[in-house]
Amino acid sequence: MASQSKQVGIWGNTEKPAFWDLLPDIAAWAGKHELDIFLTTRIIAKAEKGFDFDYKVIESADDFKQLNLILSLGGDGTLLALSRAIGDRETPILGIHLGELGFLAEVTTDDMFAKLDRVAEGDYEILERMVLDCKVQNGNESHSFHALNDVTIDRGSSHRMVNCELTANGNHVANYKADGLIVSTPTGSTAYSLSAGGPVVMPNLDAMVVTPICPHTLSLRPIVLPDDRTIEITFPDNPTGGLALAVDGQVQESLELEARVTIQKADYKTRMVIFSDTNYFDVLSQKMGWGKRGE
């Protein structure tokens, strides 16, 4: 059981009307439990009028450190963006899903206040989820990214298949001729990787899933690698450019043919709020039809 939260942040998709509808009720819940509310500068800037409740401001990423918990109100994309913003600051995230199909969010609007009351009482647990550390050497430039879901390399603006060479800890794994490659965490195994034929991996495991996108052979299937491997991807024998890299489907970068992408387990994990009565396979069944036969 976690300790009682006293300072609660709110991060949300301000484009969703449901966010603004729920915000006053969440503030009232916080007031009832004597919790301090912290809002992001984006929420404050997007508000059409002032708030009739007291709040403090998350002015920089380091302000996440003073929070006991932060609520993510939106969809999976909202939560993924929050995970990258928090980085290694260890602030636990509770996802509240406002849309139709959210897999990462632990709470829906139907059971939101029952779950929030449990949070206020300290009746929750923390699940640490693996994060990917991705470094891109792209010509003379070098960039670093972190992904809770996945890193995807695809043909970008080109109509040709991508030639990728994959190594793990310096050992050759395979040459892929495909529309691209997805390297995912267990969390991301139920996202793009699953759509491309990858396996479901429970989120409490530490592993990396490499899934080719439409490979030009039946012999190249998804593989699961242990978390102590460093994956390197290069692009030999590509006749044209146009390659692209995407982090969690949100951060994008064009790749030169001489680019080198290195992916390994990050030195921190994203901390997610869960409840003792949550069953991962129930979530799979409810949101993705796991184990159900076609009608």
Give me the active site residues, please.
76
Side-chain-side CA neighbours of 131 within 13 Å: the count stands at 24
Q: Which two tokens stand for residue 126?
A: 């923390």
- Phi, psi (rounded to 5 degrees) for 70: -135, 135
Angle at 37 between CA 32 and CA 43, to 5 degrees: 130
Bridge partner residues of 108 (DSSP) = 97
User: Which residue, among 53, 55, 26, has the nearest Cα to 120 in the 3D structure?
Assistant: 26
Q: Which two tokens stand for residue 59?
A: 């002015």
Contact status, residue 193 vs residue 149, Cβ threshold 8 Å: no
CA distances to 60, 145, 199 from 85, in Å: 10, 11, 28
- Provide the pairing of β-strand 69-74 with 7-12: parallel
Q: Which two tokens stand for residue 28?
A: 């009232």
